[in-house]
Chain A
Amino acid sequence: MKKRLYLELENCIGCRSCLAACTQCGGHEERNRNYVYDVNPMVNRQTMPLMCLHCVNPACARSCPAQAIQIHETGAVLSALVEKCIGCQNCTIACPYGIPKFDTEQNLMYKCDLCIDRTKDSIPPMCASVCPSNTLQWLTDEEIENKKKQFNLDNGKWVTSIPYLEGETNVKVNLPGILQGITKLF
């Protein structure tokens, strides 16, 4: 069954387990490809994770002159193919979320590939496997739909993607309740 990465942003406690787990993925050569950001560090301790959202129409792949960024049949936008990447860094400029990283020494771009060795067999990606606060979840579309019902909103404000993102993505994001005009209880 097809599952998706699903982010409930405000659950994040800033433990950075996802970063550590990312380095341990089979294909990641001990370099993490995701980020955790403070929301307002002078005022509170809220953090939010940020990783590749695996756009349906990925700008990185569109801007790649070497066709090095492939899209897996599961929808995951893969890291650059090592033999094709020519090191132009177009993808880092094109990505609307600033996700791809570039290794100057190796002349190679690398980014979140949604742990494709795991997710192609429906095993959750490393980050979702270790997240202690249910910020990162690995859910079916049906489960995401149920989440939506659970909030029981009539204000049409449930957002899992647009308008806070630039386009349709394979990773679904559940924005903090504050933007949706609700208080969430967990």
Chain B
Amino acid sequence: MQAKVAANQKTGKSIDNAFASHFAKSMFLAVCGLVTLSFFGTRMFTHVDLNLYGYMVGTIIFIGGFFYRFIAWGERPPTKIFIKKGIKLLFRKSTPKTSVEHLATYNFIWNRGIYRWTQHILIGWGCILSCFVTFPLVFGWMYFTMDDNGYYSIIAMGIRVITVPANGIIANLSYNALNITAVMVIAGVCMALYRRLKNMQARAEQKFMYDFLPLYMLLLVSVTGLSLTFMNIFLRGAGQPAMSLIHQWSVIITLIYLPFGKLAHIPFRPMSVFARNYREHYAEQSMKGCKVCGDEFVSTEQSKDVVEVLGVNDIEFQTKEGHHLAEMCLPCRRKYRIAQFSGFPIHELKVKEANQNAKG
């Protein structure tokens, strides 16, 4: 009885109780946020572009899929640890640099090859820039007005940000922003498709649904988008209504599919900044020495976390010597296994690891 009362008191305080689940809460907050932003952005709903309402509905469904996928993913024990500690370490000095390298310039992909880096920059930035244009337009956070005197105003969040000549460079860039990004994406996707046909590593593991479909969808979105421009300029708008529906359909399908396919790595990727911060921070705190040779090979915190995560999964790697296998450095752990196979404790012998790289 007492326990019941205590439980009631405990739950009574939490705002989480108002919602049936994490999902419901996130969804509610996200939709409220969108509506609020649109309220201000469209000057109290006076500048809503209803031509784009399909995208609006599509985005809400996408957000539903997104929360479903990522809340489930965040519940995995290792993921939970990284998210929790990553948020705590977010304000490290190195965070801005790491974020730019991982999320904007993709230095690590450069190291995997210049070709792949080029295709990734083209697709990645093509998509990001398109999103920066499209979503504000859809939700009315940004719109354009034509002034009487041949000037053109860009209004963001209800504020007149910039007024430019209607045929100037900035105006032309903003009219053509989506055309430019479409060309970027088409070029990048073609490079990616070519790589998928030629590269042996890609050919070994790729699947249609996972690897090809997102590329085809991006291609479809870009080609139908560009053809809208083509129809406007060269065909005086002939076929525009049908094509705009096809374009809308392709965008919405891509959005809904996004959290479940390869493109899920886009919202996923900031985790790599968390991981880098986590490794750097705890390595500065204290390093773990190998139980056999004493070499420092990982931070104490990560070693502890991995042991804990494995424990949650009912995996216990206790050795006869009384420590966990995760407390040995990698060469010692390999030698330890050879010792189990051969009966001779090679891991205790102070000899250099024999040549393990097939370079002669």
Contacts and interface: CB of A to CB of B under 8 A. Distances in A.
Given A19-B357, A23-B358, A26-B204, A94 B338 contact: no
A166 B161 CA distance: 64
B204 A90 contact: no
A19 B358 contact: yes
Interface in A30-79: 32, 35-42, 46-48, 50, 57, 59, 62-67, 78
B306 interface: yes
Interface residues of A, number: 65
A9 to B, nearest CB: 6
A20 B275 contact: no
B94 to A, nearest CB: 14
Interface string B74-87: 00101101100000
A106 interface: yes
B48 interface: no
A142 to B, nearest CB: 25
B357 A86 contact: no
A37 B349 contact: no
A116 B325 contact: no
Nearest to B278: A88
Given A26-B203, A62-B313, A63-B310, A84 B268 contact: yes
Given A22-B358, A37-B334, A84 B265 contact: yes
Nearest to B326: A93
Contact of B108 (A57, A107, A113, A176): A107
A145 interface: no
Given A29-B201, A32-B357, A116-B204, A88 B315 contact: no
A89 interface: yes
A86 to B, nearest CB: 4
Give the one of B303, B341, B356 with max A CB within 10 A: B341
Contact of A19 (B102, B328, B356): B356
Interface in A146-163: none
A37 B335 contact: yes
Nearest to A32: B358
B309 A90 contact: yes
B112 A98 contact: no
A46 B341 CA distance: 12
Contacts of A82: 112
A176 B355 CA distance: 23
A98 B333 contact: yes
Contacts of A89: 279, 298, 302
A26 B326 contact: no
Interface string A89-115: 110111111110001011110000100
B73 interface: yes
Interface string B149-179: 0000000000000000000000000000000
A93 B298 contact: yes
A28 B202 CA distance: 10
Interface in B232-281: 262, 265, 268-269, 271-272, 274-276, 278-279
Contacts of B351: 38, 41-42
B146 interface: no
13 contacts: A9-B342, A20-B358, A39-B344, A48-B338, A59-B310, A62-B310, A94-B309, A96-B337, A98-B332, A98-B333, A103-B111, A117-B204, A176-B341
Interface of A: 9, 16, 19-20, 22-23, 26-29, 32, 35-42, 46-48, 50, 57, 59, 62-67, 78, 82-84, 86-90, 92-99, 103, 105-108, 113, 116-117, 164-167, 173, 175-176, 178-179
Interface of B: 73, 76, 78-79, 81-82, 102, 108, 111-112, 200-201, 203-205, 262, 265, 268-269, 271-272, 274-276, 278-279, 298, 302-303, 305-306, 309-310, 313, 315, 317, 325-326, 328-335, 337-338, 340-344, 346, 349, 351, 353-358
Given A38-B354, A164-B341, 16 more contacts: A19-B358, A35-B334, A39-B346, A40-B346, A59-B315, A62-B310, A63-B310, A65-B275, A83-B262, A87-B108, A89-B279, A90-B78, A90-B305, A98-B330, A98-B332, A98-B333
